[in-house]
Amino acid sequence: VCLFGIFGNLINISVFVKQGLARSINASFFAMAVTDLLEVIAQIWHNFCLNPYLAQLDSVIDFGAIKYLTAATPGVLLVRITGWIAVFITAERCMSIAVPLKIKQIVTPRRTAATLVFIYVMNFAGIVPLYNAAYFSWTFDPVRNRTKVGISFRHNVDEMTSWISSYYSGMTIIAFVSVIIFTNILVLALKQKSKWRRKSAAQASQPETMSSKERKTVHTVIVVATVLIVCYTPGIFFNIATSLSDVFSLSGRQINVIQAAWSFAFLLHSVNSSITVLLYYTTSSKY
């Protein structure tokens, strides 16, 4: 899945660059493709670190430990960034329907770029305390009676992890709910426009309120957002469960259950990041 995602997102990036990033929707899809590409790469590295055969090797690196900073945390971060980019895309399409004549003045290329940069900064800010407190160091492995490169923490890891979990849980839920709301608005708007077109089909003098190009763009956004909602739903519930109960934390009694659950969630995240090339190809005539 992830290998397909790498090639698919490279194609997406190439296509949107050729189409031009001056258009807001292209710039947003381009940013999403870059984020998805990085996410599937992080997931491949995560899967490599979890390989059980690595534990049998007498390696100087503790892959099970370093994956926390090099794979798991970046991967989850990129998933959330994709979610927030989806919020911006769906919100921008809603505005294009509400104020079609003013949308180009409201959503300019410069404002789009600034919004996308803000999304990245807002999400990266949440992990600054973690990377400030955690660092790679030599740790003792009592099983093999040797030191390995692992991870150590300068501060109280429990308090810091709790704060980061709360911050990202809130960010994830807000983004998820926002995408659902904006996607439903787009679906309703598209249905209303379709009804209007059928009623006015015999009246050629009435102007179109939504161009064919705009309808196809909205349809593409709806499909991409719907797939994201489906793929993100399990992770949202697991995130809420982890935040509300210590039993389902990574150090709780149900660690095996939560690890299995998050493995399923990570798989769906990778699917969402990998199949966008198919979604664009089937819904966009310009792709």
Per-residue 3-state assignment (H helix, E strand, C coil) for 118-157: HHHHHHHHHHHHHHHHEEEEEEEECCCCEEEEEEEECCCH
Per-residue pLDDT band for 97 (boundaries 50, 70, 90) equals confident
Per-residue pLDDT band for 251 (boundaries 50, 70, 90) equals low
Mean pLDDT on 259-272: 84
Q: Indicate the SS3 state at residue 61.
A: strand
Least confident of 133-142, 167-176, 225-234: 133-142
- Taking only the tens place, the pLDDT of each residue in 25-52 is 899 999 999 999 999 999 999 888 888 7
Determine the Cα–Cα distance for residues 40 and 54; give it in Å rounded to an integer. 21
Higher pLDDT, 241 or 275: 275
Helices (H), the chain: 2-19, 24-49, 52-56, 63-67, 73-98, 103-106, 109-124, 128-133, 157-199, 212-244, 255-274, 276-283
Q: What's the pLDDT score for residue 199?
A: 58
Higher pLDDT, 77 or 283: 77
Mean pLDDT on 255-268: 78
Instruction: Give the other-Cβ count within 10 Å of 117's Cβ.
Output: 11
Q: What's the pLDDT score for residue 211?
A: 64
Per-residue pLDDT band for 143 (boundaries 50, 70, 90) equals confident
Mean pLDDT on 144-155: 78
Among 236, 78, 85, 114, which Cα is nearest to 93's? 85
Least confident of 92-106, 149-163, 238-252: 238-252
Q: What's the pLDDT score for residue 247?
A: 62
pLDDT greater than 60 at residue 252? no
218: its two tokens:
């909205």
Average pLDDT, the chain: 82
Mean pLDDT on 144-169: 75
Determine the Cα–Cα distance for residues 38 and 123; give it in Å rounded to an integer. 15
Q: What's the pLDDT score for residue 242?
A: 72
Per-residue pLDDT band for 245 (boundaries 50, 70, 90) equals low
Instruction: Give the other-Cβ count within 10 Å of 252's Cβ.
Output: 13
Q: What's the pLDDT score for residue 157?
A: 67
Q: What's the pLDDT score for residue 54?
A: 77
Higher pLDDT, 20 or 57: 20
Mean pLDDT on 260-283: 86
- DSSP character for 245? -
Higher pLDDT, 79 or 145: 79
Mean pLDDT on 167-191: 86
Higher pLDDT, 277 or 242: 277
- DSSP character for 72? I
pLDDT greater than 60 at residue 204? no
Among 121, 123, 132, 126, which Cα is nearest to 157's? 132
pLDDT greater than 70 at residue 250? no
